[in-house]
Amino acid sequence: MILGIESSCDETAVALVTADRQVLASRIASQMDVHAPFGGVVPELAARAHVERLAPMVEAVLTEAGIALTEVDAVAATAGPGLIGAVMVGLVTGQALAFAAGKPFVPVNHLEAHALSPRLVDSGLGFPYLLLLISGGHCQLLGVEAVGRYRRLATTIDDAAGEAFDKVAKLLGLGFPGGPALEALARGGDPTAVLLPRPLVGSCEPHFSFAGLKTAVLRAVAAGGHGTADLAASFQAAVTDCLVDRTGRALARFPEATALVAAGGVAANGAIRAALEAVAAQHGLPLVVPPPALCTDNAAMVAWAAIERRQAGLADDPEMPARPRWPLDPLAEPVRGAGVKA
């Protein structure tokens, strides 16, 4: 039984998970209200909000599960990658709780937690599988070969897919986060109304790029003459085409995959999901999408990753410092033309 803590971005989360896949309690406090006035996550405000919320949430989770801290087998927390101040809050809280209770502490890579999260709900999901991780902060294609063994097949050279959704939503006057609002608006629009680029589609490496698409929407808005629903639908169709093409290319490079897994907030998008379903089917694979609560940032996946790593006999340095960057595949080559996110 592991107590997990997540604080790498704008979600404060605590969960208690057992090795036999029971989530005894799982709480997520969103900071949407804190960041909404700024149209994006403000790192310093995120760290402060984690400080205020974390300790009461740990208590609430233990109380809900009827478990004392002394009864857990270990404490785990995200140690990176993420906003450094935000990561530090969860990490030092986890280390302090473990120290006080005399329990082992497990530092967890946030990307690894996303990568292993589908196995928490699907005990039948075996390795290897291809993971498409699409959220506000991440946009990657990872070959998940085993616990602790990941091959990064693609990353974004500029924005993450969710970030593009949020920025375009802002352009169209929708709230933050913009993904769900943009999807709703797109339902009433014509996806072929506005001609938009599909960056990197057809290119050999399966990487992503969304900055040019975002600029193209900006130009289309400035030019006028298009309704917001048509703009939203056309943008969503362009992103979908990019994700489908890039994922298909990655599947061709990772033929050993037994499933396509999509995770991250953007995987909640119905149009994108349907399109990914079709790509997976073309390759004779099932599409696995963890339930929304496990798909977006949460602490159950952090506790679960710690369980998987301990079961696999992988040791981690309990005193490891917070890491703003922590690639899952240290051998992955830097991407040509990439900005800081690669």
Q: By the criterion CB under 6 A, which residues form the site for ligand KG4?
A: 9, 135-137, 162, 165-166, 177-180, 183, 264-266, 268-269, 296-297
Which tokens hold the place of 146? Answer: 């085993």
- Smaller CB distance to Zn ion: residue 98 or 267? 267
- By beta-carbon proximity to Zn ion, the closer residue of 114 and 167 is 114
Choose from Zn ion, ligand KG4, none: what does 94 bind? Cβ within 5-8 Å by kind: none
Complex with ligand KG4: residue 7 or 105, whichever CB lies closer? 7
11-17: strand order across its sheet: 23-30, 11-17, 2-6, 74-80, 105-109
What tokens appear for 197 in the block?
Answer: 């680029």
Q: Are 14 and 27 in contact (CB under 8 A)?
A: yes
Closest approach of Cβ 286 to ligand KG4, in Å?
A: 21
Is residue 149 helix, strand or coil?
Answer: strand
CB-based contacts of 127, cutoff 8 Å, min separation 6? 144, 145, 146, 258
| CB of 229 vs ligand KG4, minimal distance in Å | 15
Rank residues 62 and 263 by Cβ distance to ligand KG4 and give the closer one: 263
Min dist. Cβ of residue 242 to ligand KG4 (A) = 13
Alpha helices by DSSP H, 187-227: 211-223
We find the least distance from the C-beta atom of residue 9 to Zn ion, in angstroms, to be 6
| CA terminus-to-terminus distance, the chain | 35
Measured from the CB atom, the residue of 146 and 184 that comes closer to ligand KG4 is 184
CB of 174 to Zn ion, least distance (A): 22
Considering the complex, state which of residue 82 and residue 128 has its C-beta at the smaller distance from ligand KG4: 82
Residue 163 binds Zn ion, judged by CB under 5 A: no
Q: Give the DSSP letter of residue 109.
A: E
Q: Alpha-carbon distance 206 to 269, whole Å? A: 21
Which does residue 165 touch among ligand KG4, Zn ion, none (CB within 5 to 8 A, set by kind)? ligand KG4
Count of residues binding Zn ion (CB under 5 A)? 1
Q: Which residues ranging from 273 to 302 are in contact with Zn ion (CB under 5 A)? A: 297
In whole angstroms, give the CA distance from residue 168 to residue 172.
6
CB-CB contact of 172 with 185 (8 Å): yes
CB 295 within 8 A of CB 131: no
Residue 335, contacted partner among ligand KG4, Zn ion, none, CB below 5-8 A by kind: none
